[in-house]
Structure 1
């Protein structure tokens, strides 16, 4: 191994090696290609729709007012610019690990490890944030069906009036069981759940627009431009599905074609649904009513129609939606850990695959335990902002990776090329920077602590155990 050198931080993994390792599918060791375009697109939609709509409107609308619709547009533009960059790198480097793998091939090992740390934060914290909101809709469903609600002590996290968020832990446990059965079964169940929740959101849009009141949109931007930007920053975690699509690189059929198509189709569906639902919601209810409102979309329907059954349908849709998102986000995190372990940067326990199910079992158990603890004990707003920070940094790195790979290896085979290069990747980095700037100070402090811990692991373990160091 020899003595550590500063140059070790910049060692890059050759693209050919990254792709070759991703294509290794030994019967008992590798991941298998079993995911088609429809399942992949539903994977992306499933990882995305629900977080910003079912959970985060209660924090985003008070920050921006009715102009939250503009916040979703800004976040959507940022995501669209980044999605085009993801599509190029995913078609060039079609393997598990998403932006971690892309950074390893373009920016070097140390940056790749930090990107991996951002992704792990992004996935674990977002899954926790989503799971925290599950109990809200369960309570609304129980209230509509039998007139009973779970006590706050077990339905909410500390800081929000609770002691231990039991529904969140149950949700993570259910996703764990399904993931342990194997990826093919998981993505099939997810595709069915996604179609159901899209139908439920369409149901909400139709009823909410029937009660649309133009005066609810005035004043349109009570908090000004700063409020719009702050809301866009906090809801950006809703677009994590873009990254989730690329984590499936080792398990997608014909990845050079399927990955970019899956990324772009997912984003188009997600952005359209977000804007429609947000506009319908703020038109149907005064923006001041959103603050602290639990299970907000269900409450809007009940207030509009005076009928509990409309709220019940929405609650069931939210419960399904949040389950499918948690499932996909947990799946994505296990695959990033798998890729980092395969490179020697994390212990081998994260790459052990069950020969029967082709699932990384121990890896999945560890991820589930960590997410369950966060969901049980950490307040929602803290989780949401931390997820946005991790997501935005990873997205900015992907966009930089497109530029560097075009300059250093212009002749690499690419199944897709970013249009208007280099304008699109530069704009993507700029938009990500703008949204990062809008995050609150406590998020920066917590993120700095996470980064310090990642550096300690890298210099204490990874820099010596890396396969590039021992080759």
Structure 2
């Protein structure tokens, strides 16, 4: 019997085929992470980007109403987190949304989700490494009086008012150094990386609590007037999208850490309990921290001061206390914090590549692991080279919205996957089940994600569709012919012939 192209696109894996991986055998990852390590991975990959950098991009779009943007993004993330929790409790695999979609919807949709995840993780890691450069320079300037030369801390490709500008001879060196350090650490294995990440997360939370206490002491209600200058959605005089929804789209990339928790499914002890619990606990900590710091920052300075403000939180502390030491302290905390974000984001990228390589949709080298550390060395090296190059040569202004686009599309398909899985496998063992049945929360999650997507810039759509075209070319040129699931089904058909 000949398999049609449609059947190939829609072929799905069994849930137990996914959950069976991760015992540390040949070519597999080892289960070395507990619940605390998992929560710290989620918090480490999330807290930092939205607070330390994105406010400079988001506040000019929404003004003080950016607080509602954080809440809107948090609501969308919470709805999706519940969907992730149900799927993670029944399909504890290393590929997160990719693996869930493979089991629920089919191979082709899974490949598209995988492409979205690769886009969001790679660009998120590059963008955060660029922000690290800003805080490192602020720390060095305030602590020693020496600053990194402009030509060594600014990219070649810059987003100007008239479009892309090329600054010949410029390179943003700190991101390349940061990514190299992350690479060396990740090559040592997941357990060591998780332990160091947990320490950095605790330092990060302490620094943000210190900032909030100082900034709230200088709180001025006048900084919130006018509170919502651009409304829910609209455009400015230059035609750029502004408003609460547009700012939420810029911020949403910072919730990528929730997906990172799911990427660790094959390396977690008792994954059916710990992965959904880790996702929910990480979300609660992240949303609370974001709202507290956002309110404190907005109360400490006018909204107009956030535009193009480098190392914004450190500058706020310096202005409030009229002293350098708080800025030095916060910049040092941000340097540690963003190291944590970049580390965990690269970790998530390598695990998604591992899952796609395991299924044969990309070359098998991406499924190889080191026999001693059980770390996917080839993945780690490839990802770090690409992330380092983007971080060193591209302006972060090009990256934030692209990360949000990939995240929102992937989150939407995960939510759809919950509905499909409830009907495909109603008796599957689930460690966590959505309240109110399989329809309300997933549909609301998709609706909120699409509501945010509609206000992303036109340029973001253009780049996203180009990337999707490249991904489709890769699937039909390589993936569809080398799919291990397809080869397995073909072998079964041959064996069943009379």
TM-score of the aligned structures, taking structure 1 as reference length: 0.98
Deviation at 1:147, TM superposition (A): 1.2
Shift of 1:5: 2.1
Q: Does 1:406 align with 2:422?
A: yes
Query: How many residues are paired up?
Result: 469
1:112 maps to 2:110:
yes
Q: Residues 282-297 of structure 1 correspond to what in structure 2 (within 5 A)? A: 282-297=298-313
Q: Write the mapping of 1:50-449 to structure 2, written as runs, cut at 5 A.
A: 50-157=48-155, 158-159=157-158, 163-226=170-233, 227-421=243-437, 422-449=439-466
Answer whether contact 2:22 2:267 (CA < 8 A) is retained: no
Q: Secondary structure at the match of 1:159?
A: strand
**Aligned CA-pair RMSD:** 1.2
* Distance in 1 between residues matched to 2:436 and 2:146, nearest whole Å: 56
Aligned twin of 2:239: none
Segments of 5+ residues of structure 1 without an aligned counterpart are none
**Structure 2 unaligned residues grouped into runs of 5+:** 160-164, 234-242, 489-498
Listed one character per residue, the Cα deviations across residues 153-200 of structure 1 (whole Å, up to 9, x for unaligned) are: 111223169621100000000000000011100000000000000000
- Could you say which structure has the higher helix fraction? 1
Give the secondary-structure state (helix, strand or coil) at the position aligned to 2:76.
helix
**SS of match in other structure, 1:412:** coil
Following TM superposition, the consecutive aligned residue runs of length 4 or more in structure 1 with deviations greater than 3 angstroms are 1-4
The whole-number CA distance in structure 1 between the counterparts of 2:479 and 2:98 is: 14
- Residue 6 of structure 1 and its aligned partner are, at CA, apart by 2.4
- What is the CA-CA distance between 1:24 and the residue it aligns to? 4.5
* 476, 480, 485: which one aligns with 1:459: 476
Provide, for residues 382-433 of structure 1, a one-character-per-residue CA deviation record: whole Å limited to 9, x for no partner. Answer: 1100000000001001100000000111110000001123211110000000
8 Å CA contact 2:19, 2:266 repeated in 1: no
1:225 is paired with a residue of what secondary structure?
coil
Judge conservation of contact 2:94–2:351 (CA < 8 Å) in 1: yes
Distance in 2, matches of 1:23 and 1:127, equals 25
**CA contact 2:24–2:374 (8 Å) conserved in 1:** no
CA distance in 2, matches of 1:223, 1:108: 41
In 1, the alpha carbon distance for the partners of 2:88 and 2:217 equals 42
What's the CA shift for 1:113?
Answer: 0.2
TM-score under structure 2 normalisation?
A: 0.93
Distance 1:104 1:167 in 2: 38
- 1:365 is displaced (CA, Å) by 0.1
* More divergent stretch after superposition (420-429 vs 189-198): 420-429
Distance in 1, matches of 2:370 and 2:84, equals 30
For the Cα contact (< 8 Å) 2:115–2:468, is it kept in 1?
yes
Partners of 1:352 and 1:151 in 2: how far apart?
40
Distance 2:436 2:195 in 1: 36
Query: For residues 2 and 320 of structure 1, what CA distance do their matches in structure 2 show?
Result: 56
Render the CA deviation track for 1:335-384: whole Å, top value 9, x for unaligned: 00000000000101111111111101111000000111111122112110
